[in-house]
Structure 1
Amino acid sequence: MLLQQNVLQKFVPCNKQPNTWTQVFGIFTVSLAAVTSAVHFSWTSPAIPILISNSTHLETIMTLEEASYLTVIPPVASAVSSPIMAILIDLFGRKPLLMFMAVPHLLAWILIITAENTYIFYLSRFLSGIADAVIFNAGAAYIGEIAIPSVRGSWGNLLAIGIYFGQLLVNIIGAYYSIRTTAYIFISLPIIYLLLMLLLPETPYFLLTKKQEGKARESLRILRWTNNVEDEFVSLTKDVKRQVSESGTFKDIFTIPTNRKALLLSIAIRGAQQLSGFPAFAVYTQFMFQQAGGDISASMSAIIYSAILCVLISTTAFFVDRFGRKPLMTFSSFACGVVLLIEASYFCVDQHHIMDTADFKWMPLAGMLAYTVVFSSGLGIMPTLMLSELFSASIKSKALCVIHISFSIYILTISKLFQVLTSNFGLYVPFYLFSFCCFLSTIFSYLCVPETKGKTLEEIQQSLK
């Protein structure tokens, strides 16, 4: 850790007053991993229209049914590998596992570059799913354990921003370059991420659970950028001892009331986000706009949609602590329900020729832009932020594993359901379904979502009792 501190001191000298810049740098680096994961996840948005068209470089053109499995394989791989990652995160630590995730990402891009048939693409998607299991298990844990509440509230949303920024990047690059050229461009991201990760320490929480007090103290010095950390170290040691007094098994997630409540809340909060239709919109962005029609091309509509979403998420992320988690989740869920209901009604009228919609061809893009506004105000950022806030150190990796498995199930179900419903009934049917789910999420958010604004891990745990 002395190496990390010596390298970082070349940029910002260490002094007696605590500084938060290393915590922000750590969150930024982990968020870069989220960018690479999001690029892989949303890669199907520009890729599927190419793969099912005559412009593909494959031996045979993919059918939409075959291409739909490109959206399903990553969450399946992620769900299968998540329990393994939960074990490894406690065995080897948060940092080594986060560094490892660059490997499957690199291999996935290499396979896309060399792919000549459908099955190589499937293998690439499987590897990207393994990397997703790492970022969603270890990434949230790392951020939650290195950052003080004020930093976590202001900068913890960089992880969510990274996801939306990656979605924007792949829609822009994928719209103007071939599948192989896009892969050549994005293969640099995991390499840059790996080099930055080398500069960061392991979390003091994890080191204390392994009884490595000296390394934990040094980690805290780097993360607070001061040598005066004794008071916080004593308090942190006390907190960790209390938390690890629990056995920390998968059984404890369900048998200890506070853990069980936090788990159910987390699964429901993540479900509220995913059931708004976002994963389907992310992987089928260009295809969706192709089906909807409109005055603007599908690729440009996808870029505008992704750009507005990224900008809004980046803007609203820094106002979370001003309004709180609960009010924003409630408002966002209700507003998304209204917007999706209007969109669904338009698609229904247009498909069944109930009236002439020639003067309303701007509706698909305008409606999705309205969706980005209200989605980004709460549903877009709250679930990712709150995952790092609800669990104690002893149980966090196991809980995040279970949550990520449910998250993967949400993604594969919603993505496949969107394709099936759209192909068999029309675009309006999944939009009506997502709208209904958003209204249910409004009730849940108002009645059940806890307020974690400005609270430490200890205070949040006490509020769940």
Structure 2
Amino acid sequence: MKTTVVDKKNVEDLQNDGQIWPQVLAIVVVCFVPFTCGLLFSWSSPFLLKITNDKNTYDISEEEGSYFTVIPPISMILASIFCSNLNDKIGRKPTILLISVPHVIAWILTATATNVWMFYASRFFAGIADGLMFASVPMYIGEISTPKVRGVWGNALTFAIYLGQFIITVTGSYCDVKRTSYICICFPLIHFILFYFMPESPYFYIMKGRFQEARETLTRLRKKHDVEEDFLLLKADVQRQMSESGTWKDLFTIDSNRKALFAGIFLRASQQLGGISTFAVYTQYIFEKSGGNLDPQVSSMIFVGATCLLNLVGAYTLDLFGRRLSYIVSLVSCGVVLLIESIYFYIDQFETQIDIKFLNWIPITGMMAFVLFFSIGLGIVPTLMLGELFSASIKAKGLSVLIVVFGIFVSTITKLFHLLTTNFGLFSPFLLFSINCFLSTILAIYLIPETKGKTLEQIQQSLKGSKKTNEKIRVETNPNP
């Protein structure tokens, strides 16, 4: 039995000897899932007003339609609870392939809906797909990619969601409910066909003791003839993580797990309390209520399109400045913009003696500024770090908890937006979101770990407060483990 010494400082050098395009290809293909989730998530933005105004076809009230945004996060929570162990039982790849089923059902129900209950059923299946997606896709991307690839392409998931939101906003502005549904049903089918040929996560194979398959997967992903050192390093990391106890109790009692959990909960809570989910599903509603020179449909397309494009820019600034600093700057900037928006809407609604028609450019300009600052931190970091924070032994349970938290905040905030706007005015939710951003800035300093440029094992060691991340480790090189 031979023993090899690997210096963790040179881990990325080992991983970068090959080519990165197979990893990028796998990430692009898997992102058909969040793309479809983005389509369904923002579906209510272009169609809520169309459906509630079409009394001949649907006869659905605005109050009934407001639940279109509430049902998906609720079913997402249920899916995360009942399907939390799928990734570890059947694998990351089969779980991701399975997501096509609720996606197809959701689009079929939407296309054939004639009453509010069919729409509710469609939104329920959309939420199930969201739960499965957030439990598996971030995990898959984090496990198949090297730190260098993950630093840039790890943001592809978030970009795909925003791209889906943009496409549904544009398509929904020109097509009716049925035609849009028949167009969009193609995407989960394309995903299933393409992703069938993508590799499984090498982490999963090592967890199951299928070492030869792990080597073959690494060979495909790294495009290297000799992946033995990569395999041995990964095997040592995964086996060390799997040697740790991974019960529900350990998620809360082990210090490193608890730090990861608190960081994840904070990231999800502060992101959603920043208002992005509300803006995504009520985009046209906000611009219609706020007035302005532009048509609400055009304004919403500009808003969502800018969100999508600026997200690409954010991916590079994130890898340049790090996760924590980018998030803090994003929080402060978004807080200022949201406060200005809130003041404008308050004066417009309650101080009518003040003529602010010359300022009617503020709603769309403010939302564009919000998108810019949101894209450099708030829009990227929470989703990217889903696949980074947890040890392999506890990852499925940790992600399950974060999905539940995410679902609770999305459903609560979107419904709260409707209640606040109806009872107090459009300024009130913007004021709430602004206050959250300022308070979250302080908490971010203490709760967010820096994961830039680190392997998943190095992140675990930093959460433990260990100095081992730069020490040499010994791994056995038995050719037939």
Aligned pair partner of 2:124 in 123, 126, 132: 126
Aligned partners of 1:281 and 1:55: how far apart in 2?
26
Aligned position for 2:83:
85
| Most deviating of 46-55 and 74-83 | 46-55
Please give the per-residue CA displacement for 1:355-407, whole angstroms capped at 9, x wherever unaligned: 11211111111111111111111111111111111111111111000000000
Aligned position for 1:96:
94
DSSP 3-state at the match of 1:401: helix
Aligned pair partner of 2:163 in 159, 162, 165: 165
AA of the residue aligned to 1:205: Y
Kindly state the Cα deviation for residue 247 of structure 1 after the two structures are TM-superposed: 2.9
CA contact (8 A) 1:240 1:393 kept: yes
AA of the residue aligned to 2:452: K
AA of the residue aligned to 1:30: V
Aligned position for 1:394:
393
Aligned position for 2:412:
413
Please give the per-residue CA displacement for 1:306-349, whole angstroms capped at 9, x wherever unaligned: 11111100122123211111111000000000000000000000
Aligned partners of 2:205 and 2:253: how far apart in 1?
26
Aligned partners of 1:446 and 1:333: how far apart in 2?
11
Aligned position for 1:4:
none
AA of the residue aligned to 1:76: I
AA of the residue aligned to 2:410: I
Kindly state the Cα deviation for residue 240 of structure 1 after the two structures are TM-superposed: 1.1
1:36-435 to 2 correspondences below 5 Å: 36-54=36-54, 57-58=57-58, 60=59, 62-352=60-350, 353-435=352-434
Aligned partners of 1:458 and 1:124: how far apart in 2?
40
| Most deviating of 400-409 and 389-398 | 389-398
AA of the residue aligned to 2:204: F
Kindly state the Cα deviation for residue 292 of structure 1 after the two structures are TM-superposed: 0.9
Kindly state the Cα deviation for residue 157 of structure 1 after the two structures are TM-superposed: 0.4
Aligned position for 1:6:
none
AA of the residue aligned to 1:372: V
Aligned partners of 1:367 and 1:138: how far apart in 2?
35
Aligned partners of 2:221 and 2:399: how far apart in 1?
23
Aligned partners of 1:41 and 1:20: how far apart in 2?
31
Please give the per-residue CA displacement for 1:114-159, whole angstroms capped at 9, x wherever unaligned: 1000000000000010000111000111011100100000110001
Kindly state the Cα deviation for residue 17 of structure 1 after the two structures are TM-superposed: 5.4
Aligned partners of 1:212 and 1:93: how far apart in 2?
12
DSSP 3-state at the match of 1:86: coil
AA of the residue aligned to 1:29: V
Segments of structure 1 that go 5 or more residues without pairing to the other structure are: 1-15
AA of the residue aligned to 2:442: I
How many residues get paired? 448
Aligned partners of 1:142 and 1:248: how far apart in 2?
19
AA of the residue aligned to 1:145: E
CA RMSD of aligned residues (A): 1.2
CA contact (8 A) 1:38 1:167 kept: yes
**Where has structure 1 moved over 3 Å in runs of 4 or more?**
none
DSSP 3-state at the match of 2:50: helix
CA contact (8 A) 1:347 1:428 kept: yes
Aligned partners of 2:47 and 2:315: how far apart in 1?
29
AA of the residue aligned to 2:284: Q
Aligned partners of 1:335 and 1:17: how far apart in 2?
40
Measured at CA, do residues 422 and 29 of structure 1 come closer, stay the same or move farther in structure 2, by a change above 3 Å? same
CA contact (8 A) 2:37 2:129 kept: yes
Aligned position for 1:5:
none
Aligned partners of 2:227 and 2:55: how far apart in 1?
60
Kindly state the Cα deviation for residue 448 of structure 1 after the two structures are TM-superposed: 2.6
Aligned partners of 2:353 and 2:83: how far apart in 1?
52
AA of the residue aligned to 1:141: M
Measured at CA, do residues 462 and 426 of structure 1 come closer, stay the same or move farther in structure 2, by a change above 3 Å? same
CA contact (8 A) 1:37 1:166 kept: yes
| Most deviating of 137-146 and 440-449 | 440-449
CA contact (8 A) 2:331 2:378 kept: yes
Kindly state the Cα deviation for residue 56 of structure 1 after the two structures are TM-superposed: 6.5
Measured at CA, do residues 354 and 400 of structure 1 come closer, stay the same or move farther in structure 2, by a change above 3 Å? farther
DSSP 3-state at the match of 2:31: helix
AA of the residue aligned to 1:319: T
% of aligned pairs identical? 47
CA contact (8 A) 2:317 2:376 kept: no
Aligned partners of 2:284 and 2:457: how far apart in 1?
44
AA of the residue aligned to 2:354: M
DSSP 3-state at the match of 1:116: coil
CA contact (8 A) 2:110 2:118 kept: yes
CA contact (8 A) 1:155 1:318 kept: no
What is the TM-score when the length of structure 1 is the normalising length? 0.95
Kindly state the Cα deviation for residue 87 of structure 1 after the two structures are TM-superposed: 1.4
CA contact (8 A) 2:37 2:164 kept: yes
Aligned partners of 2:274 and 2:143: how far apart in 1?
29
